[in-house]
Amino acid sequence: LWDKFSELSTKCIIKIVEFAKRLPGFTTLTIADQITLLKSACLDILMLRICTRYTPEQDTMTFSDGLTLNRTQMHNAGFGPLTDLVFAFAGQLLPLEMDDTETGLLSAICLICGDRMDLEEPEKVDKLQEPLLEA
């Protein structure tokens, strides 16, 4: 199960990098800032993506390949003490009924964030985030 989760996480990280490159202005940032933003936001975006696939009736999460895990299985798959927090967050997101566009926008806002530690040009990142926040 851990191997399967690792494989899915790797694929998701690749998709996040591809997503980031398509965001207006992301590739104009320094390489160091791009890497900092990706490292800082990757877990946030992974959690957001999995939480949008929460099924409250069964108390399960469904991964992008269709793998469905309940709370105990997720705990044992490596989430450990984060499991209950992930499920609680998923429960809070559910009433928002976010569509793919809104999830993408929230992912972009998580990624393009000038408050991340060790940014070389945080002001430039803040400028890129402004239109995302206005959308």
Residues 6+ apart with CB under 8 A from 33: 119, 120, 121, 124, 125
Q: Which residue type does 73 have?
A: Q
**Helices then strands, each counted (H, E), the chain:** 6, 3
Report residue 12's pLDDT band, with 50, 70 and 90 as the boundaries: confident
| Predicted pLDDT at 94 | 94
pLDDT in tens, 31-65: 999 999 999 999 899 899 989 999 999 999 998 88
* Token output for 132: 């995302």
pLDDT in tens, 59-105: 999 988 888 999 999 898 888 899 999 999 999 999 999 999 999 99
CB 107 within 8 A of CB 45: yes
**Arch. (CATH architecture) of 2-129:** Orthogonal Bundle (1.10)
* Boundaries of every domain in the chain: 2-129
123 DSSP β-pair partners = none
98 DSSP β-pair partners = none
116, pLDDT greater than 90: yes
* Token output for 106: 């929230």
pTM of the model: 0.86
* Token output for 4: 């399967």
Instruction: Return the H-helix or E-strand segment holding 80.
Output: none
